[in-house]
A and B are shown apart, each in its own frame.
Chain A
Amino acid sequence: MSLTPKQIERIAHLARLELAAEEIPAYSDSLSRIFGLVDELDRAQTAGIEPMAHPLEDQVQRLRADAITSPNARDLYQQNAPQVDGGLYLVPKVIE
């Protein structure tokens, strides 16, 4: 299967990745090769087989009590933030 430059642009947009025009042919080529490999899955007879999402099938997601388990460490976490003001993360204006 091969992916067209148009499809690559669409995928990159969905993935929120800016791609320069000159990068597109290389991704088109390598993703097409990857899906060529993936197409081998068509050989497998999977009718009636339940999809396996997780290796430990008999495990269930645990629940815990709805209680505070860790202290507020906002200031510490925000030391890694590119831009903060008054404890808030700043982003470009989203509402006109």
Chain B
Amino acid sequence: MADQTLASLAAGLKARKYSSVELTKAFLGRIEHAQPALNALVTVTAESALAAAAAADVRIAAGTAGPLTGVPIIHKDIFCTSGVRTTCASKMLSNFISPYDATLVGKYKDAGTVMLGKANMDEFAMGSSNETSFFGAVKNPWDLAKVPGGSSGGSAAAVAARLAPLATATDTGGSIRQPAALCGVTGLKPTYGRVSRYGMIAFASSLDQAGVITVSAEDAALTLQAMAGFDPRDSTSVDVPVPDYAAELQQPMRGLRIGILTEFFGEGLDPAVEQAVRDSLAVWQKLGATIQEVSLPNLPLSVPTYYVVAPAECSSNLARFDGVRFGHRCEDPKDLLDLYKRSRAEGFGSEVKRRIMTGTYVLSAGYYDAYYLKAQRVRALINQDFRRAFGEVDLLVGPTTPTVAFGLGDKTSDPITMYLNDIYTIGANLAGLPAMSIPCGFAAGLPVGVQLIGPHFAEGRMLAAAHAYQRETDWHLRAPSGWAADFEPSTTGGAA
């Protein structure tokens, strides 16, 4: 099965090179082989996957298939999946069977995709290394001693190891783009409000956005088409028409104004990462784009701003986990207060507790103005910086992360060093902007990602730039060895 991308697998299905059942068996075989080493999944749904694949094959035979019918998918375990355990990688929800589908999950089901399982992640999406999962760390398929990034570490590792051509993910402060960069895959965080958050377990509601991890930008465009759109069940869903993203991919690069962010090329950026990112600029330049420096002076304050806003919203959202209606409950509570306190203490891991307490403090009487309102004002300044920049340029480009993947356990002792991994990604969340990370080379044998940030609802322009880059380079097609090779589908035709 030389076909790596979703587009080529979908074409293979359409051309009957293999059936969806064959494809699904092949990917389930890869998962079985890789899971003990990578721990990329929390739950594997082999039985329902084969049933969904058989149903997809019927649709394909009947000529009623859509572009994604029969394609395997892994959902981040933050998305509610009806009848399937949905844990958010927390002990708190380790036995929670969702009674309904997230809107995004329902859309992918309707499109005929085949869910292989649920991806591991940082607990409640709080982390940048996937080490806070109740189900254990995910390993980076390029080097098992390294982290895959987080919080969508399972999704990124799975796509990197070719355990599925696409995995859903979420991004509150970089949780799609940072692991995509560290695992050498394409990660897309759409504009805030572009994709429904209904059924996506909430962390920080003014920042959370659903997106996807794929091999290529073309694949990301195909999947965004399936995910995007207004949802009356999400009060922050935006009623803006969804363009034809496949058509948008063809936008010309000639005359595109790319801004490189001065603030992203300073102290702390690994020189080898910087080199790979700067090399990528030459590709767009060759295609006719112009490059200019742009400064966003308030952007360096995005990490402290985020660590007030996100914990504040998290402390409020996670108040629902009280041991009463669902989730973990402690043994023999002596009264209601004891029930709340011990259920939450036992159900949440230490990073989640740290953020709940940080948020509780900044929202508490006497500190609200000094911290929460102050951070919201700085957020407005950062937003103004982006608006100004997009008056001068069409896209912003810079590194996704300051370094390549770091070692497991290297940053777990100090929360600040962990938080600073997201120094380049948080800005887009604060301003609600669409952003992506695409592979642009290697440093010390590990993948490097280049980040693109666009104005609100300019996903098409951003995807076109990423696609143009990927037509000139093959970094996105480099896959770590040892994961996918042994399991080829037994094709009925003579192909693959």
Q: Which listed residue (B329, B341, B380, B415) contacts A52, Cβ 8 A?
A: B380
Bound-complex Cα distance A38 to B375 (A): 9
Tell me the nearest residue of chain B to A36, going by C-beta: B416
Most buried by B among A8, A33, A44, A92: A44
Q: Which listed residue (A12, A38, A76, A79) contacts B308, Cβ 8 A?
A: A38
Contact call A92/B336, Cβ cutoff below 8 A? yes
Contact call B378/A46, Cβ cutoff below 8 A? yes
Contacts of B325 in A (CB 8 A): 77, 80-81, 89
Tell me the nearest residue of chain B to A43, going by C-beta: B301
Bound-complex Cα distance A70 to B416 (A): 44
Contact call A34/B377, Cβ cutoff below 8 A? no
Bitwise interface map of A from 48 to 78 toward B, beta carbon under 8 Å scored 1, else 0: 0111111110010110100000000100110
Contact call B99/A92, Cβ cutoff below 8 A? no
Contact call B353/A73, Cβ cutoff below 8 A? no
Tell me the nearest residue of chain A to B377, going by C-beta: A46
Which A residues between 1 and 42 are near B, CB-CB below 8 angstroms?
Answer: 3, 7-8, 11-12, 14-19, 27, 30-31, 33-41
Interface segment out of the listed B43-51, B177-185, B281-289, B355-363: B355-363
B interface: dominant SS? helix
Contacts of B99 in A (CB 8 A): 73, 76-77, 79-80
- B297 CB to nearest A CB, Å: 10
In the assembled complex, B268 has its CB within 8 A of some CB on chain A:
no
Interface size band for A: 35 or more
Contacts of B236 in A (CB 8 A): 54, 56, 59
Q: Which listed residue (A34, A53, A73, A92) contacts B339, Cβ 8 A?
A: A92
Known contacts A37-B307, A52-B380, A92-B338; is A17 also within 8 Å of B373 by CB? no
> What total of chain B residues lie within 8 Å of the partner, measured CB to CB?
72
Known contacts A17-B357, A52-B379, A73-B99; is A91 also within 8 Å of B307 by CB? no
In the assembled complex, B246 has its CB within 8 A of some CB on chain A:
no
Q: Which listed residue (B193, B305, B307, B344) contacts A59, Cβ 8 A?
A: B193
Contact call A41/B301, Cβ cutoff below 8 A? yes
Tell me the nearest residue of chain B to A90, going by C-beta: B324
Contact call A15/B356, Cβ cutoff below 8 A? yes
Bound-complex Cα distance A93 to B339 (A): 11
Contacts of B338 in A (CB 8 A): 18, 92
- B241 CB to nearest A CB, Å: 15
Q: Which listed residue (B340, B358, B456) contacts A56, Cβ 8 A?
A: B456
Bitwise interface map of B from 365 to 397 toward A, beta carbon under 8 Å scored 1, else 0: 000000101111111110100000000000000
The 5 closest A-B pairs by CB, nearest first: A55-B432, A51-B376, A82-B329, A46-B377, A52-B380
In the assembled complex, 28 residue pairs joining A and B whose CB atoms fall closer than 8 Å, in A order, are A3-B361, A11-B361, A14-B364, A16-B322, A16-B337, A17-B344, A17-B357, A18-B338, A18-B344, A27-B354, A33-B414, A34-B358, A37-B419, A44-B298, A51-B377, A52-B379, A54-B432, A55-B192, A55-B206, A59-B193, A80-B96, A80-B99, A82-B323, A82-B324, A91-B324, A92-B339, A93-B335, A94-B335
